[in-house]
Structure 1
Amino acid sequence: MLAERLECERADREIGRVRVVRGSKRLLNSRHHLEAVGLNENAWRRQWEASRRFFQADGESGRRFGNETIRISPDGEVSIKLPAPLAHLANSKNGRYRLACRVVFHHRGQEWTDRIAANRSVAYRIHEDIHRRRWYLTASWQIPLVRTVPLVQVRAGGLVGVDTNADHLAVWRLDVHGNPVGRPHRFNYDLSGTAQHRDAQVRHALIRLLHFARRHGLAIAVEDLDFAAEKTREKHGRRRRFRKLISAMPVARLRARLVSMAAELGIAVVVVDPSYTSRWGAQHWQKPLTNKNTKTTRHDAAAVAIGRRALGHSIRRRTAPPRTHQSDGCGHRTVQAAPVAPGREGTRPRIPGPRTRSVRAGYGAKAGNQRAQHRSGHAAEHASWQQDPLPLSP
């Protein structure tokens, strides 16, 4: 049966015959059976004309709100770019016709908002429903296939460490060795006001983060935060201010939207364990990264700790020896240790023996030879080649 249908389609293609019916073939066949479908000719004609009366436009990535012909703003305002013969009918600037009504997408509306905010392509279709006597606008886009990238490939060029906070995202770029590159960045957002305002603030911060990561061609490292069991009174007691703070952090929504938006741009996301990232980051990285030009905060140091953990390095820095015990002239001897190096996070083991190149008297190789310290009894003073003292008088 499939082979026969294939032969029919090939024959139609060779002779240039196209079997397409605007409004579906079922509606066309019902014209010959009006009594069976319960319609008269006028009712059927209205359905036929309504099904053939529509307007659609494909989207374009990079254009404003993802579509130049049918443009819909985040607040639901619809405007249509009119062709040159109809430019005199425009009621807005740049030859656009703005509709009086606004649209709302209840199904997957958040994904649609994220796409148009990033100027990703969205296709629209405006059509009439004759049964409900209403006009509808349908939005559609292609969902890319999310592929799992090997962790070795993600770490090849470094990562962007991100620390999530109640009012901002602390971001710092790290190279493949876990060293911070450049200066820290902060993407602020305000979670006060209405729900739409909060969503817009989070979306804007994520877009800035994704553009920063895409500009450098790096993946993003975030914490796997979950405050579902961390904001109870049994755990934190009467610390109402702290419980209110962690309750206001949109970690679940931010993480879900970050993954979906990163998949659209082809950016990999690495999720790490959040244990002790803020504490160890402040302990080991905040002071070394602070200078007279850059003041490193606790959150910036936590971003470095998150990035190092995603790269497979330890968070804690290697302990440097005392300044007077450094063999290269009181210079800096701390180097980056590999993850497989034993004891890379601990202190240097104490090696018995002298710590400096100069040896004090009594502590060197001849420390046990007391004759070397008593010059009058040393055997070298009575060697055969030594001249006897001259007499003072004849």
Structure 2
Amino acid sequence: MAIRTRLKNLTAQDVSVLRVVGAHLGCLAAGDLKQRCADGLGHDSRRWAQRKRDLTGLSSSRWAGSITKATHDQWALARRGLAAHVQGLQAGIDMLAHRLSQPVGQKGTRRAPGGYRTRQEWHAKARRLACLTARRAAALADFDGGRVRVVRGGRKLLNTRHHLDLAQLSQEQWRLRWQAARWFLAADGESGKRFGNETIRVTDDGQLSMKLPAPLAHLANAPHGRYLLACHVSFAHRGQQWADRLAADRAVAYRISFDAQRQRWYLTASWQYPPAPTIDLAAALAAGCVGVDANDDHLAAWRLDAHGNPVGAPRRFSYDLSGTADHRDAQVRHALTRLLHWAETCGVKAIAVEDLDFAAEKTREKHGRRKRFRRLISRFPTGRLRARLTSMADRTGITIVAVDPAYTSRWGAEHWHKPLHTPTRKITRHDAASIVIARRAQGHKARRRTPPPPPDQSDRAGHRSAQARPNVTGG
């Protein structure tokens, strides 16, 4: 959980101290990151302790702990990104090799694409295969050797320095953003300490103070080498939860950041919730289930009872994935919030979603000419949607059930779309797919009903059918 507020009414002295402390700790963080990258795979707990001891004399033990932890997390993130890059290159190589092995002009199938259209395209893709193979070999060598490439402040902002005209920035404006991005003013919380944090402390009455590093102790205006800022801190969002943690002296991590574009200072408070206890799947599905079919612009949801029958009308939760990353993230969070609130009103304790993964589909080698489709699956938030829904549902007591996404849309259209589509209720294929997803989580078959054999029908003139049970074979 993370909440943010703006630091208002800061004096010139406060701003000066924040800049000096942020620059000093940022320099220490940059040096520590250099050492961590140099250690590579040979890093261990002994080396971590040595790095922390080296930083303690230049700051404090708590500042040193926050810096080393942030450095390790940044190195680990870069390594995961390198692993994903290697995986993406391998997917492209496999697809190129498959298509090059097909005859020129060979048509594809539903499961795999065919050959290339012309001999010229085949030749160009053969050259690209050699290029990707070389790039994968270089990336794999870096991964095996533990080498990562990290830019403190962000590679995007670094590359902006070479295109100031396109970014409509002066050199001074860019320099201010670059410095602000490289400052370090973050401290981890510690349970049992006063107000949950000894380094950056916010009291229950809103007073913000921080422990100054040893070389900057002469800037202190409070006892014990602390600097008390003139602003008053309050959180409008989840402020009561934050206040409860302060009263119980539970850990709260703080981060002070500067928005160089708006010329504003912000304080972010964050903490972790304990993991929710795992409940039995049968108990979670006892009150029914909500099936969710994720699409490019909306979530299609339908509630099912414990027997696999749709109840009520389908619901749609729309979002817009155009614009900036922050805008897309906010849209996804808002749609998931509405979904969880509706599930709570329905009284269900489980939400079924598809376990989608487009990692192998995002390569341009499979859908090279279909640029619109490539753009669609590239921006589809499969991992983010699943991760956010799981973390948000943890606080509501709702269980998330991931199911196999194979043929959900096809079987939903075949078995559920026509019977539920009426002149007064228009449903889509996505609504029908949400029913199949929920039934699959409950253990039911996708098909709507199964008719008994003709000799066993009680009414010879008509056709009697019964609800399919989980052990019934067939689609």
Shorter-chain TM-score: what band?
0.5 to 0.7
Distance 1:180 1:331, change over 3 A: farther
The correspondence for 1:177, drawn from 303, 307, 321, is: 307
Cα distance in 2, alignment partners of residues 241 and 200 from structure 1: 24
The equivalent position to 1:273 in structure 2, one of 404, 409, 419, is 404
Shift of residue 214, structure 1, vs aligned partner:
1.5
Question: For residues 449 and 220 of structure 2, what CA distance do their matches in structure 1 show?
Answer: 81
8 Å CA contact retained: 1:221, 1:269: yes
**Aligned partners of 2:411 and 2:436 also within 8 Å:** yes
Q: Could you tell me how far 1:148 is from its partner in structure 2?
A: 1.9
User: Of 219, 231, 238, which residue of structure 1 is paired with 2:369?
Assistant: 238
- Asked if the contact 2:222–2:228 (Cα under 8 Å) also holds between the matched residues in 1, the reply is no
CA distance in 1, matches of 2:271, 2:241: 15
Determine if the alignment matches structure 1 residue 191 to structure 2 residue 363: no
2:312 is the alignment partner of 1:140: no
- Report 1 or 2 for greater relative contact order, CA contacts < 8 Å, sequence distance ≥ 6: 2
1:312-331 superposed matches below 5 A: 312-320=443-451, 327-328=458-459
Tell me the equivalent position of 2:87: none
How many Å separate the matches in 1 of 2:453 and 2:420? 20
Q: How far apart, in 1, do the equivalents of 2:314 and 2:371 lie?
A: 31
Contact 1:168 1:188 in 2 (8 A): yes
Does structure 1 residue 67 correspond to structure 2 residue 198? no
Query: Which residue type is aligned with residue 229 of structure 1?
Result: A
- Is the counterpart of residue 209 in structure 1 residue 339 in structure 2? yes
Aligned partner letter, 1:274: P
Per-residue CA distance 1:132-166 (angstroms, 9 max, x = gap): xx987351344131322211111111110000000
Is 2:300–2:315's contact at 8 Å kept on the other side of the alignment? yes
Structure 1 segment 330-341 matched on structure 2, within 5 A: 333-341=464-472
**In structure 2, C-alpha distance between the alignment counterparts of 1:212 and 1:20, rounded to whole Å:** 39
Give runs of aligned pairs for residues 1-394 of structure 1, distance below 5 A. 46-48=222-224, 50=226, 65-67=237-239, 137-218=267-348, 219-236=350-367, 238-320=369-451, 327-328=458-459, 333-341=464-472, 343=473, 345=474
Partner of 1:355: none
SS of the equivalent of 1:285 reads helix
Query: CA offset at residue 38 of structure 1?
Result: 8.8
TM-score normalised according to structure 1 size:
0.55
Shift in CA distance, 49/39, structure 1 to aligned 2, threshold 3 Å: closer
SS in 2 for 1:183: strand
For 2:289 and 2:408, the matched residues in 1 are separated by 16
Conserved? CA contact 1:282–1:298, under 8 Å: yes
Q: Following the alignment from structure 1 to structure 2, what is the Cα–Cα distance between the partners of residues 180 and 340?
A: 20
C-alpha separation in 1, matches of 2:341 and 2:440: 23
Report the AA paired with residue 66 of structure 1. Answer: R
- After superposition, the Cα gap between the structure-2 partners of 1:270 and 1:297, relative to the gap in structure 1 and judged at 3 Å, is same
Deviations 1:175-218 (A, max 9, x none): 11111100000000011122222111111101000101112232
CA distance in 2, matches of 1:237, 1:230: 11
Deviations 1:33-64 (A, max 9, x none): xxxx8999x866645485577888897xxxx6
Q: Look up the SS of the partner of 1:310 in the other structure.
A: helix
- Contact 2:445/2:469 (<8 A) preserved: no
- Supply the distance in 1 between the matched residues of 2:293 and 2:241 (Cα, whole angstroms): 39
1:281-327 deviation per Cα after TM superposition (whole angstroms, max 9, x unaligned): 1111100111121112100011000000000001123344799x964
User: Is this contact kept in 2: 1:58–1:123, CA < 8 A?
Assistant: no
- Inter-CA distance 237–319: structure 2 relative to 1 (3 Å threshold): farther
1:65 is paired with a residue of what secondary structure? coil
Aligned with 2:411: secondary structure?
helix
User: How far apart are the structure 1 equivalents of 2:277 and 2:289?
Assistant: 18
Matches of 2:362 and 2:299, distance apart in 1: 21
One-letter amino acid matched to 2:288: G
Using a 3 Å threshold, how does the CA distance of structure 1 residues 141 and 234 change in structure 2: closer, same or farther? closer
- In structure 1, the gaps of 5 or more residues are 1-18, 25-36, 72-121, 128-133, 347-394
Tell me if structure 2 keeps the 8 A contact 1:162–1:303. yes
Residue identity over aligned pairs, in percent, reads: 57
Q: Is the 2:448–2:468 contact (alpha carbons within 8 Å) kept by the matching residues of 1?
A: no
**What letter corresponds to residue 197 of structure 1 in structure 2?**
H
- Larger helix proportion, structure 1 or 2? 2
Taking the aligned partners of 1:335 and 1:287, their CA distance within structure 2 comes to 18
Equivalent pair of 1:125/1:138 in contact (CA under 8 Å): yes
Q: CA deviation at 1:333?
A: 2.2
Distance across 1 between alignment mates of 2:343 and 2:422: 25
Question: How far off its partner does 1:230 sit?
Answer: 1.5
> TM-score normalized by structure 2?
0.46
Structure 2 counterpart SS, 1:338: coil
Q: Point out the structure with max Rg over C-alpha.
A: 1
